Amino acid sequence: MINMKRIVFLLTTVLCVIWVKSNAQLIAPEKVLVVYLSRTNNTKAVAEMIQKNVGGTLVALELEKPYPQNYQETVAQVSSENETGYLPPLKTKIEAIEKYDVVFVGFPTWGMKLPPPVKTFFKQYDLSGKTIIPFNTNGGYGIGSSFQTVKELCLKSKVLEGFTVRGGSERDGQLLMIKTDKAKQTEADVKKWLLKLKII
């Protein structure tokens, strides 16, 4: 006769293995790419928080010809790029992008839209079949149409729920705002978001 205690032990062991596997990190760090565009370093701060929790390769998007330091000049240039559909060339080159399964893409809201350099990134690289996860910082006006544009530019990818947080407002002289207590709260919110997505 089979010992009941042994059966209970075996069943418990199997259930524990299933639970551990179902709650384990779903993504290998070497398969994760965290790409971001940041002017005032708020988006960079969030990108670093994501990398801290998930791992992966962190890459800043830089332009061949940087935007003007003057805020109003940059606003005018971005507005013109949006109207004409111009995609500013990137200085940043990402090698072997095919090895990444999950791509986090971070950006500020510019003119309630997705910034042109991020559109360049989506047009330049084939992200078919990858999981795309957007994240955003903004000056208090939200994401605008940016997350919707990400979906439209990634029709052959799986786009997950994005993350957004208020950062700075360069127009008002507020630059890096995600620091000290704000950074601690933002990191806690980032972790909740990643857990909700079952990334960690």
pLDDT tens track, the chain, 200 positions: 456 556 445 444 433 333 333 344 468 999 999 999 999 999 999 999 999 999 999 999 999 999 999 999 999 999 999 999 999 999 999 999 999 999 999 999 999 999 999 999 999 999 999 999 999 999 999 999 999 999 999 999 999 999 999 998 898 888 999 999 999 999 999 999 999 999 99
- Token pair 């994005």 in the structure block, residue: 162
Burial pattern 131-152, b for ≥16 Cβ within 10 A else e, equals: bbbbbbbbbeeebbebbebbee
Q: Which pLDDT value is given to residue 174?
A: 87
Put residue 142 in one of left, alpha, beta given phi > 0 → left and psi -120 to 50 → alpha: left
- Counting Cα atoms < 13 Å in the Cβ hemisphere of 43 gives 28
Asked if 145 and 114 touch (Cβ cutoff 8 Å), the reply is yes
Phi (first) and psi of residue 166, to 5 degrees: -75, 130
Domains of the chain, earliest start first: 30-196 (3.40.50.360)
Residue with tokens 């052959």: 156
- Whole-model pTM? 0.86
